[in-house]
Structure 1
Amino acid sequence: MDLTSRYSFSFPTTIRFGTGVIDELPGYLKSQGLLNPLVVTDPLVKELDFFKKIISSLRNAGISVEVCAEMHKNPVKSDVIKGKELFVNTGRDAIVGIGGGVPLDVARAIALSINHHRDLFDYDDLIGGDKYVTEPIPHLVTVPTTSGTGSEVGRSAIIAEDDTKKKRILFSPSLLAKMVFADPVLTMDLPPFVTAATGMDALTHNVEAFLAKNFHPLCSGIALEGMKLISNSIVQATHKPDLESRAQMLMASMMGAVAFQKGLGIVHSLAHPLSSLLDTHHGLANAVNLPFGMRFNYEGFEQQFDQMAFMMGLGAEAGDKFVDYLFSLNQQLNLPTRLSGIGVEEAHLETLADLAFADFCHPNNPKPVSRADFKRLYTEAL
């Protein structure tokens, strides 16, 4: 610890966690005087029984609901603009995001856009756009239905340009949800692939946050506990889900999202271009690249790998087994272990390397990564 430096730490919002807490949503909105929410979700969740029950419970409580469910698999600017128009034209007074990372990111971006009238990407944090976030944000509530991104406790939204698919980061502490309802029951019907891919996304968040070079010991401790929960529950949650395993995964997902305010790293920089170029599921992209990125990071950080391996049940001083464990975990979850298994071809590698090197995550990796490193890692993973 550098005692000559000064540090600032901040942690997120109020979370209601537990079986059945979604039942509290109507009463919470009414207690805040919010009777006209825009409910933001994706086209798949919109058709599920639990979502229809949530909407019915709100309407039965005298709350007028407008549903926004038109969005891409990897959200783009036009999705946000349509949501803003619906909010304004129907006289909404709050936003409730329900679903995985995509609808929660869109909900957060819509919230930003309501009282901020510059071009949406003027608020891109990577170009200092957070300084323009000066106005109040509509009351935002988030309800996660997957255990992966942890976006429900986030303060940023990743939205892509419609034409180039370049990802932009909209960030401000004011974009935190005022309340999170994290009910593991809502994750019970996730299919095995989604459970596995989003679960590996959560694991990647915890692992990369722990290794990130920024100093934030509170996040490091949370990340280690998140890894432990995932190691204990992800296989069970994928193949024979019960409420206990789903609850552990949901908690670990939120812990990963809290922890990665410390930073992410090489794996996310390897994964993001796959979503941009090939529309790959983000969690799946992380899952395939995680062992290769960790193999790159191992030398020089053996002590940290020992800590991670111990928390994940591999034994003391077992950091050298960590990468093999990640490969094995993907196999147990029936996920691909090579990029060729998700549609990557040799012709893609140069473009992927360019995009990865330009990505915003790897500067926080514990060791520097060159474009040549990215090209070599993609080649190894192919």
Structure 2
Amino acid sequence: MIFDKIHQFNFPTTIRFGAGAIRELPAYLKANGLSRPLVVTDPIVASLPFFNTIVEDLKAKGFSVTVFSDIHKNPVKSDVYKGTEVWDGDSRDSVIGIGGGAALDVARAIVLRVNHREDLFKYDDLIGGDVFVTNEVPHFITVPTTSGTGSEVGRSAIISDDETHQKKILFSPKLMAKIVFADPLLTMDLPPHITAATGMDALTHNMEAFLAKNYHPLCDGIAIEGMGLIKDALVNATHHPDVESRSKMLLASMMGAIAFQKGLGVVHSLAHPLSSLLDTHHGLANAVNLPYGMEFNIAGFEDRFIRIAKALGLKDENGAGVVRYLSGLNSTLGIPHHLREIGVKMEHIDTLADLAFADFAHPNNPKPVSREDFKALYLKAY
């Protein structure tokens, strides 16, 4: 079985993938002359036994470890500033991000801020801020504990403004991790609802990347393979987890994050406002909106949906078949079908439509999306 040993991929980040890969972390730190890591995670992961085991193992081997976990589930600028204050006050020499997308985004933003001290959003890629990322950054290591965002292999962090709730993208190739320890055993104890939501996030990344309007056949191939892995593994990983299903989901998550350098689309622009305005889990927001966003995209792109249907092994190789599959998958995973079931109220719709239209993801959607389209999609999903 291919999942019973550790493999190495370089794409371009070095990825140590396989059951038990996390055990290599202390030796890696020592080999690179690092002894005082700042470990960034979220409050839930910080309370779990496996996290305590990682930290205690590092301490037992002589490393000085400081943990920062005071972050929101949808991270905001103030989280990054607080984490940087911890770095400043404790003579750290590296950053290890352990967790899902929120923890890894905050960790990456702290890595940026250590030697870039102007207002954090000056570095927003949407306004060309990446050109100001010119200084060196600390040694950065990532350890994913969910199979959703794939942030461990990314080079950007999505951080919201505390007041306006608008999401900003901090981007630079400098922000890529030096190494990823991708250990599926760290995902084994995720509860079913988190496994389902993060898995649908990974599926959304792969599907939207494949449909994005930019030409990037390398990303297309990765996205198609990622969809196939998710089709094989997500239901089992949610309801009957084993090392094989968890391994496939962890791979598919990283593949989605690699693929979406091509772009995302309408579904992410529908989902982001739910997270920033109502604090909805990002994966859940994507999952509920995914069938509606994909249905919106079918007309004019039928050939792309045929390829998606084939990757998913569907009998009906067309866009309608894909939408039916997504709705059925949500049912199987216990994910709601309507926004009203996850806290959205009718009075939210106009504000959500405004935020969605201002979002950065939909300009790469294969077809244009107007504010009126967003409002109609929210009402349909409501």
- TM-score where L is the length of structure 1: 0.96
- SS of equivalent residue, structure 2 residue 140: strand
2:166·2:355 contact (CA, 8 Å) conserved in 1? no
Task: Tell me which residue corresponds to 1:52.
Answer: 52
Contact between 1:307 and 1:319, CA under 8 Å: does it hold in 2?
no
How big is the alpha-carbon RMSD for the aligned residues of Structure 1 and Structure 2? 1.0
Contact 1:12 1:154 in 2 (8 A): no
Partner of 1:21: 21
Quote the Cα distance in structure 1 between the aligned partners of 2:177 and 2:189.
25
How far is the alpha carbon of 1:184 from its aligned partner? 0.1
Aligned twin of 1:139 = 139
Aligned-partner SS, 1:92:
coil
Contact 2:302 2:318 in 1 (8 A): no
- 2:83 aligned partner: 83
* 2:326 is equivalent to residue 292 of structure 1: no
Task: Quote the residue 1:313 is aligned against.
Answer: 313
Separation of aligned partners in 1, 2:88 and 2:353: 41
> Does residue 216 of structure 1 match 2:216?
yes
Give the letter aligned to residue 232 of structure 2.
N
Q: What are the residue-to-residue correspondences of 1:325-340 with 2, within 5 Å?
A: 325-340=325-340
Structure 2 distance, partners of 1:37, 1:295, is 46
Segments of structure 1 that go 5 or more residues without pairing to the other structure are 1-9
Q: Secondary structure at the match of 1:102?
A: helix
Partner Cα separation in structure 2 for residue 287 and residue 173 of structure 1: 29
**SS of alignment partner, residue 268 of structure 2:** helix
Q: What letter matches 2:227 in structure 1?
A: M
2:242 matches 1:242 = yes
CA distance in 1 between partners of 2:316 and 2:178 (Å) = 41
Contact 2:147 2:202 in 1 (8 A): yes
Please state how far the C-alpha of 1:99 moved relative to its aligned partner. Answer: 0.3
Q: Which residue of 1 is the match for residue 343 of structure 2?
A: 343
Q: How does 1:165-204 map to 2 (within 5 A)?
A: 165-204=165-204
CA contact 2:295–2:319 (8 Å) conserved in 1? no
Is 1:198–1:283's contact at 8 Å kept on the other side of the alignment?
yes
Residue number in structure 2 paired with 1:276: 276
Contact 1:306 1:320 in 2 (8 A): no
Q: Give the C-alpha shift of residue 263 in structure 1.
A: 0.1
Deviation at 1:116, TM superposition (A): 0.7
Give CA deviations for 1:131-184 in whole Å, capped at 9, x if unaligned: 100001100000000000000000000111112221111000110000000000
Q: Decide whether the 8 Å contact of 2:295 with 2:320 is kept in 1.
A: no
Q: How many residues align?
A: 373
Give 3-state SS (helix, strand or coil) of 1:293's partner. helix
State how far apart, in whole Å, the 1-side matches of 2:183 and 2:54 are.
12
SS across alignment from 1:299: coil
Residue 265 of structure 1 aligns with an amino acid whose one-letter code is G
Counterpart of 2:326 in structure 1: which amino acid?
L
Q: What is the CA-CA distance between 1:345 and the residue it aligns to?
A: 1.5
Give the structure 1 partner of residue 156 of structure 2.
156
Quick check: 1:124 aligned with 2:120?
no
Amino acid paired to 2:136: P
Percent identity reads 67
Mapped partners of 1:368, 1:59: distance in 2? 53
Q: Which amino acid aligns with 1:204?
A: T
Instruction: Give distance in 1, aligned partners of 2:319 and 2:102.
Output: 34
- Post-superposition CA distance 1:119-138 (Å, at most 9, x none): 11100111111010000110
Which residue identity lines up with residue 233 of structure 2 in the other structure?
A: S
C-alpha deviation, 1:11, in angstroms: 4.7
- What's the CA shift for 1:61? 1.4
Give the equivalent residue in structure 2 for 1:371.
Answer: 371
SS in 1 for 2:75: coil
Contact 1:149 1:253 (C-alpha < 8 Å) held by counterparts: yes
8 Å Cα contact 2:36-2:64 kept in structure 1: yes
Instruction: Write out per-residue CA displacement over residues 196-223 of structure 1, whole angstroms, 9 at most, x where no aligned residue.
Output: 0000000000000000001111000000
Would the aligned equivalents of 2:212 and 2:364 in 1 still touch at CA under 8 Å?
yes
* Inter-partner Cα distance in structure 2 for 1:257 and 1:55: 27
**Contact residue 35 and residue 63 of structure 2 kept, 8 A:** yes
- Alpha-carbon separation, structure 2, partners of 1:320 and 1:165: 34
Separation of aligned partners in 1, 2:318 and 2:360: 31
Report the Cα offset of residue 317 of structure 1: 3.2
- 2:318 and 2:374 map into 1 onto residues whose CA distance is 26
CA contact (8 A) 1:267 1:293 kept: yes
Which residue in 1 is equivalent to 2:265? 265
Distance 2:234 2:12 in 1: 25
Deviation of the 1:315 alpha carbon: 3.6
Give the distance between the partners of 1:303 and 1:36, measured in 2 at CA. Answer: 52
In 2, the alpha carbon distance for the partners of 1:295 and 1:319 equals: 7
Matches of 2:188 and 2:145, distance apart in 1: 9
Instruction: Deviation per CA, 1:208-251: give whole Å up to 9, x if none.
Output: 00000011110000000000000111010001111100000000
Alignment match, 2:6:
none
SS of corresponding position for 1:157: strand
State the one-letter code of the partner of 1:298: I
